[in-house]
Amino acid sequence: MNPRIVKDIQSIFVCNLNEFENELNALSLIRKYDEYTYLHCLNVARLSVMLGRRFELDDPDLVDLGWAALLHDLGKLHVPIHILNKVKKFSPEELAIMQSHPLESLAAFVKLQPVTIDTINRLSAAFEHHQRFDLKGYPVVQRKLNLHPFSRIVSVADTFDAMTTDRIYQRRILPDLALRIMSQGFGTIFDPIVLQAFITSMGAYPVGSLVRLSDQRLGFVTGYGKNSRVDRPYLRIMENGISVEEMDLMDDRHSGLRIMHSEFPEDHELEGKFQSWK
Ligand SMILES: [Fe+2]
């Protein structure tokens, strides 16, 4: 077992990895093929399991959801790397290859393990993660069956991570903007219950966001209290690259302050600063 991969998984959910040797091998193939896709799968699993906990899934279901998310893009191993990381627009042939990856994910998943009543939940997101709540999207299906709940969760996590991480061909967008854009897909692209739970969990400004206050100071969002409003988190105020004050925006002393918008940390030489506190 690759110790880095084991550590990465254990930071997301707990399971007996000896029972998932095939899945671990598949994940290490993804990592060897394309580091971005591997990191994306980890992020999608982390966000999916967070949502699963919010929906109070029991431990075996959380493990299934975690694996469903970790391997949802397994079929990208069949997409040539020059297409996977293409900067320019896809040709129709390239788009068809790219959009074949959910079907390839399902095929690869079935090869990994026998399909049984115990493993079926892990398969769902592989095929369905680009299908929308209204059953548009791809692969195009004629039948009108509802998506598996895990697919609805992975779809939200997948979209958010794809929008908020840098790619070779596009700069990421800020997390609060991603949530606002995604909220336009309530009940059409995304399951409204899943999306609402996601937005509530993340807060209007997800943890790690750098925000500009109405008094022009900058601060990192460090968390939300049980009774915090979604736009009034805990902050660490930054001055000249240093954290100078911890603040709870719910505190009456700060009632005159509000968050104006978020900004990119690298525009203020604060890249990696938030991660360094973890
Ligand atoms: Fe995908």
Which domains are assigned to the chain?
Answer: 3-202 (1.10.3210.10), 210-276 (no CATH)
CA of 267 to the centre of ligand 1 (A): 30
- Quote the ligand 1 centre to 73 CA distance (angstroms): 5
Q: In angstroms, rounded to a whole number, what is the distance separating the alpha carbons of residues 116 and 64?
A: 13
Residue 130 pLDDT more than 80? yes
- CA–centroid distance, 182 to ligand 1, in Å, is 17
pLDDT exceeds cutoff 90 at 165: yes
**Ligand 1 centroid, distance to 72 Cα (angstroms):** 7
Say what the pTM is: 0.92
How many A from CA of 75 to the centre of ligand 1?
A: 8
Strands 234-239 and 259-263: unpaired
**Cα–Cα distances in Å, from 275 out to 39, 50, 116, 208, 220?**
16, 19, 41, 8, 11
CA of 224 to the centre of ligand 1 (A): 31
pLDDT cut 90: percent of the chain above it: 81
185-200 pLDDT, tens digit per residue, is 999 999 999 999 999 9
CB of 51 closer than 8 Å to CB of 156: yes
Closest to 79 (Cα-Cα) out of 109, 113, 110, 102: 102
The pair of three-digit structure tokens given for residue 221, joined into one six-digit string: 């969002």
State residue 144's pLDDT score. Answer: 73
CA atoms within 13 A on the CB side of 256: 3
Using pLDDT thresholds of 50, 70 and 90, give the confidence band for residue 119. Answer: confident
